[in-house]
Structure 1
Amino acid sequence: MSYAIVGFGKIGQALAQAFARKNIDVTVASRRPPEELASQARAIGPTVVARSLQEALKADTIFLAVPFGEHSAVAKALPSWKGKTIIDTTNSFPVPPEELDGLPSSAFLAKAFNGARLVKGFNHLIAATLATNPVVEGGYRVVFLSSDDEDAVAPVADLAKQLGYAPVKLGRLNEGGALVHARGRTWGPLIFQDLFRKQQ
């Protein structure tokens, strides 16, 4: 399984640090050319490699870590996203619900990524928290996952565990997933909640 992070702002860098902590290879890309990201990527760790967007999109699983309004530009980079899993880390705040056709933001975003399996996840923590070690005394930091494709969630949950997190499945996007979606000018009730699951 290969992984990429598209977007190398605060969230993208925080995710890259999670991969680096576990020595898992990940490609990073953004609107900037890869040579502009290379030194930053190397500083995070040797398993983090900056490449072009087209190279990054060859990965099986792609973290979408760009501002919500830029997702359509990324989607246009491939004619088909079949076989790809997109992990949507974006938040649509403060986009009004009518601009999203009344859908949860991830369901709206998914329409742009033709053929992809989409999982909402890793979006409820601020970058500074996401950048810290998720393994804490007595437990693991929680990440919430939701999707309309039940089969897509399990491998993302496995990846979350590899990265040191405790995945919590919330069900479909418009059900439990709504708890981590921004809605107009309001945040879902689980946004910014820094929760831990104790070791079994």
Structure 2
Amino acid sequence: MAATIGIVGSGAVGRALAAHVVASGRNVVLCNSRSPATLESAVDDLGPRASALETSAVAAADLVVLAIPWHVVVPLLEQLPPWHGRTLIDATAPASHLRLPQPHDLGGLTSSELVQASAAGARVVKAFCTLPASVLALPPANAAGRRVMFLSGDDAEARAVVSVLIDDIGYAPVDLGSLAAGSALQQPGGPLAGLDLRRAD
């Protein structure tokens, strides 16, 4: 498991995931569309395991979470160097709101298939996209059990790595299999979008 997790995006989803990552004992590097200096307050809030870097440096981590608005996903990915087999967790959602889905026209592809096509050489895993940021910011587990976190991807090894991360930060991973099938279930309009389930361990 990567000791440092890169999170591309410092909005509500990115910060919620960053907090869980540092709580698990790992380091996290963040970036946004502006500059590392603008993330000073967020890094201070997260503590000594967090830092901010330029986008290219964050995207060079062994394990990267993509948590940015959908309209900038493809342009950003096409600007980055090849991934050379590194794992990219797609936490994006092609809609303005999970409860009122307005999916973009993706030409017959699921959103994660489009991410895969735009991130040359990446092993894409879809995860962290079915719950709104306000729920992601809550503790992953309580007396009722651990929140379920779905994942899907075409590379079994990458799915296993992401499953371990999900488990380590406190969620209950549920593997949905292939990227196309699993992404369709998770993205806005799919049956799992916005579904908050718990598993008693």
- TM-score higher than 0.5 here? yes
Q: What do residues 146-199 of structure 1 show as CA deviations (whole Å, max 9, x unaligned)?
A: 1122221000000111111110001112324321122xxxx2111111111111
* Cα distance in 1 between the residues matched to 2:195 and 2:145: 15
Q: Give the C-alpha shift of residue 47 in structure 1.
A: 1.2
Aligned AA (1:167): P
Provide the C-alpha distance between the structure 1 equivalents of 2:178 and 2:25, rounded to a whole number of angstroms: 31
SS in 2 for 1:114: coil
Q: Which deviates more, 60-69 or 21-30?
A: 21-30
- Look up the SS of the partner of 2:15 in the other structure: helix
Contact 2:22 2:49 in 1 (8 A): yes
Q: 2: distance between equivalents of 1:103 and 1:38? A: 37
Deviation at 1:12, TM superposition (A): 0.7
* Offset from partner CA, 1:7-63 (integer Å, 9 cap, x none): 001111111111122231010011110011022121122212111112212200110
Residues 70 and 94, structure 2, Cα contact 8 Å, conserved in 1: yes
Q: How high is the sequence identity, in percent, across the aligned residues?
A: 38
Letter in 1 for 2:172: A
2: CA distance, partners of 1:39 / 1:23: 20
Contact in 2 for aligned 1:101/1:108 (Cα 8 Å): no
Please name the residue that 1:154 is paired with: 160
Distance 1:140 1:37, change over 3 A: same
Match of 2:47 among 45, 48, 55: 45
Secondary structure in 2 aligned to 1:28? strand
Q: Counterparts of 1:75-94 in structure 2 under 5 Å?
A: 75-93=77-95, 94=102
Query: How far apart are 1:111 and its partner, in Å?
Result: 0.5
Question: Is the aligned partner of 1:16 residue 2:22?
Answer: no
Query: 1:115-152 CA deviation, whole Å, 9 max, x = no partner?
Result: 00000000001101101110111421111001122221
Corresponding residue for residue 116 of structure 1: 122
CA RMSD of aligned residues (A): 1.4
Contact 2:112 2:183 in 1 (8 A): no
Q: How many residues align?
A: 193
C-alpha distance in 1 between matches for 2:184 and 2:103 = 15
Which sits farther off after the overlay, 171-180 or 150-159? Answer: 171-180
1:19–1:48 CA contact under 8 A, matched in 2: no
Q: Is the 8 A contact 2:111 2:183 kept in 1?
A: no
Distance 1:69 1:177 in 2: 18
Give structure 1 stretches of 5+ with no counterpart. Answer: none
Distance, in Å, in 2 between the alignment partners of 1:75 and 1:119 is: 15
For 1:73, the equivalent position in structure 2 comes to 75
TM-score (norm 2): 0.91
SS in structure 1 at match of 2:89: strand
The match for 1:164 is 170
**Is the 1:117–1:152 Cα contact (8 Å) retained in structure 2?**
yes
Q: Which amino acid aligns with 1:56?
A: V
* Displaced runs of 4 or more, over 4 A: none
Bigger Cα displacement from structure 2, 13-22 vs 26-35: 13-22
Deviations 1:74-120 (A, max 9, x none): 213423111321100011123443xx220111001210100000000
